Amino acid sequence: MTYTEEIKQLSVRVPKSQILDNVVETEKTRVEDIKGTIFSDYPSQIIFDEINVNKQQLLEEEKISQGFLDEADKRVESLLTSFLSSNGFEDAVVEFY
């Protein structure tokens, strides 16, 4: 945070939003096919195993392309601007790095 007395402006620098973790725990999910693998060409557990291999990368890419991180940055900016304004800093600038 930097406060410029001459123009009475507070500048706040915060890191850009990022995805830190994927909390869906499909690794611990176990699927038992009640028909067995005799009638099934592609058992359900294999599907889960393939999802787990690329889950994090695919989920992150999808969310980023949908604007998830941009929306998070906008909400952070709105929250900080509102908070600082309610504490007397009418001219606050939020910068992301």
- 54-85: per-residue pLDDT in tens? 776 777 888 899 999 999 999 999 999 999 99
Strand partners, 13: 95
Residues facing residue 96 across a β-bridge? 14
Q: Where are the domains of the chain?
A: 2-96
Is this structure's pTM higher than 0.75? no
For the chain, first and last CA: distance in Å? 13
- The rounded mean pLDDT for the chain is 82
- When pLDDT is averaged across residues 4-12 and rounded to a whole number, the result is 93
Give kind and range of the element (H or E) at residue 83: helix 68-86
* pLDDT exceeds 70 at position 40: no
Enter the DSSP assignment of 14.
E
Question: What does the chain come to in residues?
Answer: 97
Q: Is residue 37's pLDDT more than 60?
A: no
